[in-house]
A and B are shown apart, each in its own frame.
Chain A
Amino acid sequence: MGLLKKKTVLPGFGLSLGFTLFYLSLIVLIPLSAVFLRTTELSWDEFIAAVFSPRALASYRISFLASLTAALVNAFFGLILAWVLVRYPFPGKRVVDALVDLPFALPTAVAGITLTALFSANGWFGEWLEGTLGLKIAYAEPGIVVALTFIGLPFVVRTLQPVIEELEPELEEASAILGASRWQTLRKIVFPQLVPALLTGFALAFARALGEYGSVVFISGNMPLRTEITPLLIVTKLLQYDYAGATAVASAMLAASFVLLLLINLLQRWSRRYQNAN
C-alpha cells in the first residue's frame, strides 16, 4: 500500500496505472488466457500426453537450444556491431545503421526463402560449405540457428546503442590514467555498464527466436524429432483440427518461456546492483 501512496510530482498515477493494467489485459492477458482455457477441453492425462509426447519433447529441445545459440551469437556480434556503430565514424555508417533494422521489416518468409536459397547445396554459401567443408546448413539444425540469428540481430544492437552512447569516455580516460590496461578498462569499467542492456537485448532476441515460425519452416527441413521446432508442431496440430492439443503444447512453451524471461529479468536486476547503489 505504501508503494501506491508514494507522492510524486506528476499527477495521474491512479489513472495511468489503471490504464496500463487495462491495456495489458486487453492486448496480452486475455488472448493468452484463451490459450490456457482451450486446453481445459483436455483431460489431465490427455494434456500430459500432448505436452510430453516424444515429438513435443524433441521440438522443445531443438527450439530452446537453437534460440539460445542464436541469441548468444547475436549478443556477441551485436555488441561488437553496436560498439562500432556508436564509437567509430566511417563512410557509409548511416547505411550500415539502417541495414541493422532490415530483419525487422522483412517478412520472415522472405528471409527464410532467401536464406534457404543461399545455404542449400546449390546456393552461393551452401555450395562451398556443403561441397567443400561437408557442413550441412539448410535442411539441418544449423539452418534453424542461421534463420533465428538473422531475425534476432536488431534486438541486441538497438538495445545496446543508446547505452553505449551514454557511456562517458571520461571514465575510460580516468581508468587509463590510473594505470589500468586497456583490457582491464574494458572488463572492469565498460563492460559492467553494458551488461544490463546486453541482457535485455539477449532476452528479446531469445524470446523472438522462440516464437519464430515463418523463416524457420523454409530452412529447417521440418523433420519430426530432428528439425521440427515447437511452433511448427503447433501449426501441424492445428492443421489436423487438434486445437486443444495445439494449445496444450503452446501453453507448455509459454510457461517455459515466461520462467526463462523472468530469470533473465532477475539476472538483469542483479547486474544493475551497482547503478542503484546510491
Chain B
Amino acid sequence: MKKTLSLFTGLLLAGSSLLNAKDIELLNVSYDPTRELYVEYNRAFAKHWKEKTGDDVKVKQSHGGSGKQARSVIDGLQADVVTLALANDVSALHNKAKLIPEDWQKRLPQNSAPYTSTIVFLVRGGNPKNIKDWDDLVRPGVSVITPNPKTSGGAQWNYLAAWEFARQKYGSDAKAKEFVAKLYKNVPVLDSGARGSTTTFVQRGVGDVFISWENEAFLAQREFGKGKFEIVIPSISILAEPTVSVVDKVVDKKGTREVATAYLEYLYSDEGQDIAGKIFYRPTNPKFVKKYETQFPKLNLFTIDEKFGGWTKAAKDHFADGGTFDQIYVK
C-alpha cells in the first residue's frame, strides 16, 4: 500500500513538474515580408517568456499574401495570433467567421499596430530611368512591378498611395483613376504577394521600378549591396499600419490566450520595438522612433483614415469586385 502510494506521489510529482515547464506552441499567421522580423522576435519572446514563467514557447510562422492568410484562418487554420498587412484583413476574421470580437482593434495600443511602415520605390543601381516620384511611374517605357491588390495587402497600400498622390496633384478622383490606370498599364507581372514581386524584380530582373514596402526595400538593398539597387523616396506616401490580433476562438480552444496576448503585447516592449527598428519597420514607441530616426527617410505620410475614410470604405470603393481596380482593367 505504502509502496503504491509513494509510486503514485512520484508520478504526481513528475507530472506536475512536467506541467510546470510547459511546452507551448503558438502559430503566428502573418503576411509576406515579416519573415525576418518574426524569426528574430520569436527568439526574443521565447527567451523573455522562459525567464518570466519557465515555460518553453515555440512560435511557428506562416507567411503569404495578407488576404490569402486571412482566408486560411477563416477556413480553419488554427492561428493563435494574426499579424497581417492591414486592418481590413484582420476585420475579415470577424466579418466572415466571428473568430474575433468586433472591437478587436481597440484591444492593443495604437489601433493594434505595434510598428508601421510605408511604401517606397526600389530601382536598379544608378537609377537608369531617373525615377523620382509617382508621376515617373506612368511615363511610357517605364516598367513597374507591384503585386495584385486583390490578393496582396501591400499592393493595396501601393495603389492607395498612388491614388492619393494623383488626387493631390491633379485635383480629382476621376483624374486619380486615370493616373492609376496608366500606372497599371506599365505593370507587366501581377504576383499574388509582395514576396513574389520582390523575387520577380530582384531575381528575375523584370521591371525598372518596384513599388515596395519600405522594410522590404531596405532588406533587398542590404542583401544585395547598395550598388545593385537604390531606394527612391517619393514626395508623398501612405502610413501603412500592419495590425495584430489574438484569434479568440482558437486561443480559447487551445488554452493559449495568456501567452498569445503576451506575445503581441511584447511587440510594444523596448525589446520588441528595437527588433522592429532593426528589421526596418518603423517603431511606434517615441524612444525608438528617435533611435532609428536617421535610418528612415522623412517624407510626407498620410493615413488611410484621413484620406480614404478607413479600410472598410477603401476596400469597397477600390478592391471589391467592380471597384476601381476592376474598372481600370475592364473598360
Partner of B321, one of A120, A217, A245: A245
The answer to whether B329 touches A221, judged by C-beta atoms less than 8 angstroms apart, is no
The answer to whether B190 touches A120, judged by C-beta atoms less than 8 angstroms apart, is no
The answer to whether A239 touches B204, judged by C-beta atoms less than 8 angstroms apart, is no
| Residue contacts A-B, CB under 8 angstroms, 23 given | A53-B330, A55-B326, A121-B204, A122-B204, A123-B204, A139-B188, A139-B189, A139-B206, A221-B189, A222-B148, A222-B189, A223-B188, A223-B189, A224-B190, A236-B148, A236-B150, A239-B65, A239-B68, A239-B192, A240-B67, A240-B319, A241-B71, A241-B74
The answer to whether A222 touches B321, judged by C-beta atoms less than 8 angstroms apart, is no
Cβ of A117: which chain B residues have Cβ within 8 Å of it?
Answer: 203-204
Question: Which of chain B's residues has its CB closest to A58's CB?
Answer: B330
Complex CA distance for A120 and B204, rounded to whole angstroms? 6
Cβ of B329: which chain A residues have Cβ within 8 Å of it?
Answer: 55, 224-225
On B, residues with C-beta under 8 Å from A are 65, 67-68, 71, 74, 92, 96, 148, 150-151, 187-192, 196, 203-206, 319-321, 326, 329-330
Complex CA distance for A245 and B151, rounded to whole angstroms? 16
Cβ of A223: which chain B residues have Cβ within 8 Å of it?
Answer: 187-190
Partner of B150, one of A123, A217, A240: A240
Question: Which of chain B's residues has its CB closest to A217's CB?
Answer: B192
A110 to chain B, nearest CB (A): 14
On A, residues with C-beta under 8 Å from B are 53-55, 116-117, 120-123, 138-139, 217-218, 221-225, 235-242, 245
Cβ of B321: which chain A residues have Cβ within 8 Å of it?
Answer: 237, 240, 242, 245
Contact flag A54-B190 (CB < 8 Å), given A116-B204, A121-B206: no
Question: Which of chain B's residues has its CB closest to A122's CB?
Answer: B205
B224 to chain A, nearest CB (A): 14
The answer to whether A221 touches B190, judged by C-beta atoms less than 8 angstroms apart, is yes
The answer to whether A241 touches B191, judged by C-beta atoms less than 8 angstroms apart, is no
The answer to whether A222 touches B330, judged by C-beta atoms less than 8 angstroms apart, is no
The answer to whether B205 touches A120, judged by C-beta atoms less than 8 angstroms apart, is yes
Give the interface SS of chain A, mostly helix, strand, loop or mixed: loop
A135 to chain B, nearest CB (A): 15
Complex CA distance for A60 and B320, rounded to whole angstroms? 22
Contact flag A222-B191 (CB < 8 Å), given A120-B206, A121-B205, A240-B320: yes
Cβ of B71: which chain A residues have Cβ within 8 Å of it?
Answer: 238-239, 241
Complex CA distance for A136 and B187, rounded to whole angstroms? 15
Question: Which of chain B's residues has its CB closest to A242's CB?
Answer: B321
Question: Which of chain A's residues has its CB closest to B68's CB?
Answer: A239
Cβ of A240: which chain B residues have Cβ within 8 Å of it?
Answer: 67, 150, 319-321
A264 to chain B, nearest CB (A): 32
Cβ of B68: which chain A residues have Cβ within 8 Å of it?
Answer: 239
A120 to chain B, nearest CB (A): 4
The answer to whether A239 touches B206, judged by C-beta atoms less than 8 angstroms apart, is no
Partner of B96, one of A139, A225, A241: A241
Counting chain A CB atoms within 10 Å of each CB, which of B71, B192, B204, B329 scores highest?
Answer: B204
**Among all A-B residue pairs, the 8 with the closest Cβ atoms:** A122-B205, A120-B204, A221-B189, A224-B329, A222-B190, A239-B67, A239-B151, A54-B330
Cβ of A235: which chain B residues have Cβ within 8 Å of it?
Answer: 192
The answer to whether B330 touches A55, judged by C-beta atoms less than 8 angstroms apart, is yes
Partner of B151, one of A54, A123, A221, A236: A236
The answer to whether B96 touches A138, judged by C-beta atoms less than 8 angstroms apart, is no
Question: Which of chain A's residues has its CB closest to B330's CB?
Answer: A54
Cβ of A236: which chain B residues have Cβ within 8 Å of it?
Answer: 148, 150-151
Contact flag A222-B192 (CB < 8 Å), given A117-B204, A121-B205: yes
